Structure 1
Amino acid sequence: MTLLVLVVDDEADVEVLFRQQFRRDLRARRFEMDFAASAAQALRRVADTGERTLILIFSDINMPGMNGLDMLPEMRARRPDVPVIMITAYGDAETRRTALDRGAEGLLTKPIDFDQLRQVVETRLGPAT
């Protein structure tokens, strides 16, 4: 069983950053990472993960087109079994409340604390492996 983490962000350097931070895990094939540059692309990706088991979604909030907050209810409807963690530069109380009300399991602020993010991934890997 191949485990999958999906990262949704319109910034091109995010993929490089995530792959660098998780390079040992990816090389060891503990899980795979997939990347979507928009909410619409992410919604298509979760519909067809192939033989991989989607265990976690990280999503930016501020994206062109459908933003991450608008994507949340649709994502939760399609994949209620997969936790969504929002990542944003705006960690104010209203944004946090809106994200949680729309189905996010948590909210991390930028700049990303990769130790904290790794803990989230490890928590999901534990029961999934």
Structure 2
Amino acid sequence: MTLLILVVDDEPDVEPLFRQQFRRDLRSGRFGMEFASSALDALRIIETSSGVTLILILSDVNMPGMSGLDLLPKAKSLRPEVPVIMITAYSDTETVRSALERGAEALLTKPIDFAALRGAIEARIELAA
């Protein structure tokens, strides 16, 4: 079974940062990561991710075009069993409330606490096993 984490962020430095933080897991094949630079790209990946077990979606809140908050209910309607964690540089109470109301499991602020994120990923891996 191939486990997949989808990371959605329009910033180009996000992919190398995540690949560096999770390099051992990615090299060992423990899980894979796919990266989308827009919400529309993310929806295409979610719709066509057959043959893998999507265990987590990480999405930036602020992106051009469709925001992460707009992506959230669409992603949940396509894959209701997959948790979505929102990532934002601005954790104002309105953003937090809106994300949770739309179905986010949690909200992480930038810079990302990778130890906390790793804990969330470990929990999803255990559930998938």
- 1:86-105, aligned counterparts within 5 Å? 86-105=86-105
Residues 70-99 of structure 1: per-residue CA shift (max 9 Å, x gap): 111111111101000000001111110000
- 1:104-119, aligned counterparts within 5 Å? 104-119=104-119
Q: Determine the C-alpha separation between the residues in 2 that align with 1:44 and 1:62.
A: 19
Which consecutive unaligned segments of at least 5 residues does structure 2 have? none
Q: Determine the C-alpha separation between the residues in 1 that align with 2:57 and 2:89.
A: 17
List structure 1 runs of 4+ shifted beyond 3 angstroms: none
Q: Determine the C-alpha separation between the residues in 1 that align with 2:55 and 2:85.
A: 11
Shift in Å at residue 50 of structure 1?
A: 2.9
Residue of structure 1 in register with 2:75 after alignment = 75
Q: Determine the C-alpha separation between the residues in 2 that align with 1:33 and 1:103.
A: 22
Residue of structure 1 in register with 2:61 after alignment = 61
Residue of structure 1 in register with 2:31 after alignment = 31
Q: Determine the C-alpha separation between the residues in 2 that align with 1:41 and 1:35.
A: 9
Residue of structure 2 in register with 1:41 after alignment = 41
Q: Determine the C-alpha separation between the residues in 1 that align with 2:17 and 2:4.
A: 17
What is the one-letter code of the residue matched to 1:83? P
SS of residue in 1 equivalent to 2:19: helix
Between the two proteins, the alignment pairs up a number of residues equal to: 129
Q: Determine the C-alpha separation between the residues in 1 that align with 2:32 and 2:49.
A: 11
Which consecutive unaligned segments of at least 5 residues does structure 1 have? none
What is the one-letter code of the residue matched to 1:5? I
Residues 26-65 of structure 1: per-residue CA shift (max 9 Å, x gap): 1111000000000000001000113111010000000000
Shift in Å at residue 116 of structure 1?
A: 0.7
TM-score (norm 2): 0.98
What is the one-letter code of the residue matched to 2:105? E
SS of residue in 2 equivalent to 1:80: coil
Q: Determine the C-alpha separation between the residues in 1 that align with 2:24 and 2:71.
A: 30
